[in-house]
Amino acid sequence: MGNFIQNLDLSAKGIWFPITLGIISLIYIFFMPKRLTWGEIYLTFGTIGYVALIIDMFFMLNYFDVFDLGRKPMQEGIGDLLSYGVIPSCYAVIFLNHLNQEKKWIYVILFTLLSSLSEWMLVQIGYMKLKGWQTWWSIPVFIIVFGFWLPWHLKLIRKEA
């Protein structure tokens, strides 16, 4: 049991931030007025979590090795899971739930800023250590995800239902 607790990496500097952000985001999803169905939330949460985990943990950490999270670089703890699998999924669900096509680009900018600020805060508090990456490089990725991929994703799952 001690090994399990140690592998959670709860003593990592700044671990409080991804834990707090993950909890707040999950609570918000449960209590927000729903425009999405629970099935759409479930599919979006799972899809975004999977894609974020694959891209961030597999490619960015293993192949490109451009940043580290937590105390031990090659050990994924609870903060890593929250930072890759829960927080991006929550942001995607919240974005799609509130998305209004007439104000789409306002929401894209707002959620790009929110995502960029979250990543920047991870660096500032010391949980994320950059090794050749710049946080502003994520901005075009966030614009593509919020501006194009997530609206397409929602159209796809609503078409298939």
105 in any annotated domain? yes
Write phi, then psi, for 10 (nearest 5 degrees).
-70, -10
| Residues contacting 120, CB < 8 A, separation 6+ | 135
Picking from 22, 20, 13, 9, the residue whose alpha carbon sits closest to that of residue 76 is 9
- In tens digits, the chain (161 residues) has pLDDT values of 666 666 566 667 888 999 999 999 999 999 999 999 999 999 999 999 999 888 876 666 667 777 777 766 666 677 778 888 899 999 999 999 999 999 999 999 999 999 999 999 999 999 888 888 888 999 999 999 999 999 999 999 998 75
Q: What is the pLDDT of residue 3?
A: 63
17 in any annotated domain? no
18 in any annotated domain? no
3 in any annotated domain? no
- In the structure encoding, which two tokens stand for residue 113, read together? 């800023």
Picking from 100, 125, 120, the residue whose alpha carbon sits closest to that of residue 16 is 125
Q: What is the pLDDT of residue 42?
A: 96
Q: What is the pLDDT of residue 62?
A: 65
42 in any annotated domain? no
- In the structure encoding, which two tokens stand for residue 44, read together? 């979006």
Half-sphere exposure of 130 (CA within 13 A, CB side): 14
Identify the domain containing residue 130 by its residue range: 52-161
71 in any annotated domain? yes
127 in any annotated domain? yes
Measured CA to CA, the distance from residue 93 to residue 118 in angstroms comes to: 16
Exposure class string for 116-147: b at 16+ Cβ within 10 A, else e: bebbebbbeeebbeeeebebeebeeebbebbb
133 in any annotated domain? yes
Q: How many structural domains are present in the chain?
A: 1
pTM check: above 0.95: no
Give the other-Cβ count within 10 Å of 102's Cβ: 6
Dihedral angle at the C-alpha atoms of 11, 13, 17, 23, nearest 10 degrees? -10
